[in-house]
Amino acid sequence: MTNLRIAVNMQPARDDTGALKFKATLPMGVLFEKSLDKQQVERERVALGEAYAELVAQLRTHRAAMNTHNVMAYWQFGDALLAFENHYKTSLLFVDRLIDHLTRDVDFSITMILLCRRFREAFPDPNRVDPKQSFTNYQRAGFDPARLSPIVRRRGRPHK
């Protein structure tokens, strides 16, 4: 069981109170595999579903903060995504097509999710992110700090 990894899908569901939860669904036949510890698989399945629900809630919060044009919200979005991916990189269960599931559950485009991840990868230290620059400026510069243009304000335009 050292190199065995099982891809799961995340399915949204409502509990008895009407709250949205996510359930990790296993592929057919996994529970019939004799070499697997069924209790361990079930514990990890439940834990993954809870961790995914926390990730979705966190990403929705960051997404709402993006409407204030706060460039750090994009960095935090990417940071939460990378932390989740790194945590489940070597576990028994992992979310198959994670970006597709997040697109559905966070209501954010695949492109923006990938850009936020790339932004966080390019700037592992949040102190290197200039809050005066917009996310679009970082994107246009290819997330390369050397290519960032200085902030030039035109006369007559209000400051953001």
Give the number of C-alpha atoms closer than 13 A to the C-alpha of residue 123, restricted to the C-beta side. Answer: 26
Sorted by where each begins, the domain ranges of the chain are: 6-26+39-147
Q: Tell me, what's the pLDDT at 145?
A: 82
Residue 43 CA to residue 47 CA, distance in Å, equals 6
Residue 160 CA to residue 153 CA, distance in Å, equals 10
Q: Tell me, what's the pLDDT at 108?
A: 92
Per-residue pLDDT of the chain (160 residues; tens, 9 = 90+): 446 778 888 888 888 888 888 888 888 777 667 777 888 888 988 999 999 999 999 999 999 888 777 899 999 999 999 999 999 988 888 898 999 999 999 999 999 999 999 999 999 999 999 988 889 999 999 998 888 877 655 555 555 5
CA 111, 117, 122, 128 torsion: positive or negative?
positive
Q: Tell me, what's the pLDDT at 159?
A: 58
Q: Tell me, what's the pLDDT at 156?
A: 54
pTM of the predicted structure, to 2 decimals: 0.82
pLDDT in tens, 54-94: 999 999 999 988 877 789 999 999 999 999 999 998 888 88
Q: Tell me, what's the pLDDT at 1?
A: 42
Residue 62 CA to residue 85 CA, distance in Å, equals 17
